[in-house]
Amino acid sequence: MKAVIIRKHGGPEVLSYEETPDPVPQKGHVLVKVNYCAVNHLDIWVRNGISGKTVQFPHILGCDVSGTLIDRFGGFKKGDKVIIYPAIDSNVSRVSFGIIGGFGKYKGGYAEIIQVPKKNIIKKPDWFSDQEAASINVSYLTAWNMLEKSRCKKDDIVLVWGANSGVGSAAILLAKAKGLKIITIASDKNKAMFAKKLGADFVIDRNIKDVTSEVLKFTNQVGVDAVIDHVGAKTWPVSLEVLKVKGRMVACGTTTGGEAIVNIRSLYSKEAQIIGVYLGSKSQLVALHKFMKLKKIRPVIDSVFDLKDVKKAHQRMEESNQFGKMLLQISN
């Protein structure tokens, strides 16, 4: 099969599009012909490498897959369109689970064929196209879980960082459909326009305005009910500062670094909470599918690249030029 292989950590140059042997089915696993695989920021972490995290080289990235079943099993027929729930058993203590195509032994979806545990297969919801079905299993599931953990109710105010990102754009669409008021952050005029179109109520261009004072102005100095923070070190201090009394900061990412200096006094004096979120459960993914169908929500797709152009896709994400999800087209 054709696949994108990495043999060491590094920049986009370590992504090698080449012929490689098809996976051999193992007990309890199935083979899926990959139609589309989304690019997620996790792919960049794994490609670059993170100290203390290991992969087994040669490795294949890609955790967000829609595809076609190669063989029947259980209630599934050969040729069924499916998606893959990306969490697998953890082999690391004090980590909830691993992710297919992430750190660990499972090879991912930057390939014509992927092997996954049978229990990770979900029938593709009819509401989504093959492209859309490869966009929702990581960013949308995480945003959904973050919004659930935020415990926001209708008309609550939520601050969403990075409007153009996979997680941010998903959080805006889902929060809007839940009836929340959304403040979001962009870093230029185009991204701000995009955020408005998605349904944000108030957009702050962080390169022009001070985020803390703008959020406090918008909320009459009260602060927001919750913050969806996937950016990490650079945004945590502001995220905590703009929370209202008993507000919740929900965190899932470290795009700008994993070690933040925060105002602990501000945290406890308003009895605020910091909540960590890691992906979401399979049942949350199924509930998300139903919600998106009910509310007629379609994931925002930025662009589709041929698998062999994967380096261009990674560069686009690293330059943060995307508005929503980027996909690799593989077999469809």
Residues that bind ligand NAP (CB under 6 A): 40-42, 45, 138-139, 142, 161-162, 164-168, 185-187, 191, 206, 230-231, 234-235, 252-256, 277-279, 317, 320, 322
Q: Which two structure tokens, joined as six digits, stand for 66?
A: 């829609």
> C-alpha dihedral over 195, 277, 314, 51, to 10 degrees?
140
Nearest residue (CB) to ligand NAP, 33 versus 149: 149
> C-alpha dihedral over 237, 242, 248, 251, to 10 degrees?
-40
Residues comprising the chain, all counted: 332
The answer to whether 58 and 23 have CB atoms below 8 angstroms apart is: no
> C-alpha dihedral over 284, 37, 115, 56, to 10 degrees?
-100
Amino acid in position 114: I
DSSP 107-162: --SSBSEEEEEGGGEEEPPTTS-HHHHTTIIIIIHHHHHHHHHHT--TT-EEEES-
Helix 166-177 and helix 141-150, axial crossing angle in degrees, nearest 10 = 50
Nearest residue (CB) to ligand NAP, 66 versus 135: 135
Nearest residue (CB) to ligand NAP, 32 versus 317: 317
Alpha helices in the chain (DSSP H): 41-48, 130-133, 141-150, 166-177, 189-198, 211-218, 236-241, 264-269, 282-294, 310-318
- Min dist. Cβ of residue 298 to ligand NAP (A): 17
Nearest residue (CB) to ligand NAP, 113 versus 165: 165
* 305 contact partners, CB below 8 Å, separation of at least 6: 39, 312, 313, 326, 327, 328, 329
Nearest residue (CB) to ligand NAP, 180 versus 326: 326
Q: Pairing mode, if any, of strands 113-117 and 121-123?
A: unpaired
Spatial distance between the Cα atoms of 277 and 138, rounded to a whole number of angstroms: 12
- Min dist. Cβ of residue 141 to ligand NAP (A): 8
- Min dist. Cβ of residue 25 to ligand NAP (A): 28
- Min dist. Cβ of residue 161 to ligand NAP (A): 5
- Min dist. Cβ of residue 69 to ligand NAP (A): 26
Nearest residue (CB) to ligand NAP, 115 versus 164: 164
- Min dist. Cβ of residue 167 to ligand NAP (A): 4
- Min dist. Cβ of residue 119 to ligand NAP (A): 19
- Min dist. Cβ of residue 139 to ligand NAP (A): 5
Nearest residue (CB) to ligand NAP, 128 versus 161: 161
Nearest residue (CB) to ligand NAP, 42 versus 243: 42
Q: Is 176 exposed, middle or buried (0-12, 13-18, 19+ CB in 10 A)?
A: middle
- Min dist. Cβ of residue 272 to ligand NAP (A): 20
Nearest residue (CB) to ligand NAP, 115 versus 235: 235
CB neighbourhood size of 141 (10 A)? 26
Question: What phi and psi, each to the nearest 5 degrees, are found at residue 40?
Answer: -120, 160
